[in-house]
Amino acid sequence: SSNFGNMFSMAGATLILPFLPMLPVQILVNNFLYDISEIPIPMDRVDASYLQRPHHWDMNAIRNFMLAVGPVSSVFDFVTFYVLLHVFHAGEKLFHTGWFVESLATQTLVIFVIRTRGNPLRSRPGALLTATSLGVVAVAGGLPYTPLGARLGFVPMPAMFFLILAAMVVTYLVGVELVKRWFYARLAPN
């Protein structure tokens, strides 16, 4: 769902920016880090209520969930674009860095919301999924301050960016939770 939203944002950003919203190598690093964070999903804990009866893949429900939740990601990407361009007056490198950090944080942390039909604060994820997800977000935030980050075209972000980012990420996760609840109450099969 989040990846769908990010790809939609990438396409939209190319229409409004005079430069690529993220360089190809940055997209590859973003995807690589995201994939690392999600490796423990098969070992994650599942809600006891989900184990009460067998389940089958419902591709229509998965598609509909993606179409319901994906646009929430895009809304927050476009808010990030606005903040980067109009609050921080970002040039190309600062924009790339800011969106890299925001997109990796949102698409990685949303797993804690979408991994359960229930309240994500009551459904505890496995320790390994928690560690890899939080670790990857920390790497994304720290990468621009390293020589490798500089080689990838990243620049250090102003401290205020991280305060705004934290508020946006929390708001995003609450938004996804609300859309998820609406989806399961109205559109999802039991």
Q: What is the pLDDT of residues 146-162, one digit of tens each?
A: 999 999 999 999 999 99
pTM of the prediction?
A: 0.91
Structure confidence by residue, pLDDT tens digits, 1-37 = 667 777 888 888 888 899 999 999 999 999 999 999 9
Mean pLDDT along residues 137-152: 98
Structure confidence by residue, pLDDT tens digits, 77-95 = 999 999 999 999 999 999 9
Q: Is the pLDDT of residue 189 over 70?
A: no
Q: Is the pLDDT of residue 169 over 90?
A: yes
- Give 190's pLDDT tier (boundaries 50, 70, 90): low
Lookup result for tokens 């980050």: 149
CB atoms inside a 10 Å sphere around CB 25: 11
Q: Is the pLDDT of residue 99 over 70?
A: yes
Of the candidates 162, 152, 135, 148, the residue with the CA atom closest to the CA atom of residue 22: 152
Mean pLDDT along residues 58-75: 89
Query: Percent of the chain having pLDDT more than 70?
Result: 98
Q: Is the pLDDT of residue 167 over 80?
A: yes
